[in-house]
């Protein structure tokens, strides 16, 4: 039984009714309204099914064990396997490779629900989408079937190897080099902060192929698919981070790693555009994850405010607290609309750089603000690990850092905005 068929059957069982497989082509995405249908906030039945399945999984299987994974830092492999069985992972993989071929909008709906349960688990899952995206947007048929196809046959992870110790936001500062020798490229360099670095079956890797330091970034770098078991790859220790601790983050050293020329994406020199193009597709789901965390913080704070009493009445009846909840609710709703617009733009086949950066920047800030306010509403209890909101506050911070910092997003937004007036 294929993974696609197994996932479909499980979704039918859990969601309560069937769903249709559909093409990953934007023009056929189920979220896009029929011509002339106008603007609508209503989800399709199929989208509601995916959302309900992810929500049930988060509530019943992720939340009960999230605190323990946070405490131990253990990789949540059982949860990842279960998500794979349910069709909640690798949602972007096209049907031609055995995947579900979902649109960005559906993927974001799923991501928000998973993040509500635990963003550490969600990040491990979402890192697969980031690693796959360069192959989805730039891989040839053979590369897609080989590397995306295997991920639909069994639970398997991949990783996006771009960041280095001295090159994070400044991607053009990458030092890892790839030198062509015959029918192979020999790669040397070091990557850092690689999510799923120690669990991946293969990597998307960006390396400099033009030794000229004055070469423009648009021509200096090449994107490679690298098998994780290739000789010369040294995987570093698991980093213990401030939050999202069950996610696997590591440094990776590449020493005389030989990669066949068949594993080059598009052509030599096309890597930078591929890497940046992937972000336009993956930043909406990252924003959706931030919204899921913020919604969880809002729910926890609201329930606590209804139960906790001071001065003879529940604290929710104090205007100071109720106004905090109102502000938190406003931010959650607006951040959700931002990621949904960015995802909709992807599925409509339009360039979404502007909206993707707005969604990512705003939702990342909202996650931090709402989680901080939730801790405040909990008071002293919020500062204690026996209550859930301190974990949310720690987990939220990375949303302002990874996949482009909050400051980088503002640079992109400003460039895109001003560019409209210069055109």
CB atoms < 10 A from the CB of 180, how many?
13
CB atoms < 10 A from the CB of 193, how many?
19
CA neighbor of 352 nearest in space, from 342, 362, 361: 342
- Centroid of chain to Cα 341: 16
Residue 397 in tokens = 């911070």
Q: Where are the alpha helices (DSSP H) in 180-318?
A: 217-220, 271-307
**Close Cβ partners of 223 (under 8 Å, ≥ 6 residues apart):** 134, 138, 204, 205, 206, 264, 265, 266, 270, 271, 274, 275
**Close Cβ partners of 422 (under 8 Å, ≥ 6 residues apart):** none
* Euclidean distance between CA atoms 307 and 234, whole angstroms: 52
Q: Which residue has the tokens 């529940």?
A: 314
Residue 209 in tokens = 């192929």
Is residue 49 part of the annotated active site? The answer reads no
Residue 156 in tokens = 């398997």
* Catalytic residue ranges: 403
């Amino acid at each position: 039984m294929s993974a696609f068929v197994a996932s479909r059957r499980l979704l039918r069982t859990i969601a309560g009714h069937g769903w249709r497989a559909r093409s990953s082509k934007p023009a056929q995405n189920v979220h896009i309204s029929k011509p002339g249908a106008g603007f609508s906030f209503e989800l399709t039945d199929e989208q509601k099914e995916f959302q309900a399945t992810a929500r049930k999984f988060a509530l019943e299987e992720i939340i009960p064990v999230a605190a323990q994974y946070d405490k131990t830092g253990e990789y949540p492999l059982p949860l990842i396997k279960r998500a794979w069985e349910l069709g909640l992972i690798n949602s972007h993989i096209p049907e031609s490779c055995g995947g579900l071929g979902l649109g960005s909008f559906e993927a974001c709906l799923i991501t928000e629900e998973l993040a509500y349960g635990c963003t550490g688990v969600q990040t491990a899952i979402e890192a697969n989408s980031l690693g796959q995206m360069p192959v989805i947007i730039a891989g040839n048929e053979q590369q897609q079937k080989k590397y995306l196809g295997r991920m639909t046959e069994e639970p398997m992870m991949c990783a996006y190897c771009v960041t280095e110790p001295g090159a994070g936001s400044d991607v053009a500062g990458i030092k890892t080099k790839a030198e062509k020798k015959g029918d192979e490229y020999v790669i040397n360099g070091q990557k850092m902060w690689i999510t799923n670095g120690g669990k991946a079956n293969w990597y998307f890797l960006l390396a400099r192929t033009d030794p000229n330091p004055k070469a423009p970034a648009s021509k200096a770098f090449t994107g490679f698919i690298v098998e994780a078991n290739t000789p010369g790859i040294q995987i570093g220790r698991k980093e213990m981070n401030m939050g999202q601790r069950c996610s696997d983050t590591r440094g990776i050293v590449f020493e005389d790693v030989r990669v066949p020329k068949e594993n080059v994406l598009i052509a030599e020199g096309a890597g930078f555009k591929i890497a940046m193009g992937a972000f336009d597709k993956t930043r909406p789901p990252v924003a959706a994850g931030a919204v899921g965390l913020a919604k969880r913080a809002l729910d926890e704070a609201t329930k606590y405010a209804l139960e906790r009493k001071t001065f003879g009445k529940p604290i929710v009846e104090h205007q100071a607290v109720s106004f905090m909840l109102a502000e938190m609710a406003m931010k959650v709703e607006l951040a959700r609309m931002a990621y949904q617009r960015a995802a909709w733009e992807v599925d409509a086949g339009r360039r979404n750089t502007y909206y993707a950066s707005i969604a990512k920047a705003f939702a990342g800030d909202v996650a931090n603000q709402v989680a901080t306010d939730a801790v405040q509403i909990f008071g002293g209890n919020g500062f204690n690990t026996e209550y859930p909101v301190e974990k949310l506050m720690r987990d939220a911070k990375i949303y302002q850092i990874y996949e482009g910092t909050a400051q980088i997003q503002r640079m992109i937004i400003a460039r895109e905005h001003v560019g409209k007036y210069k055109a």
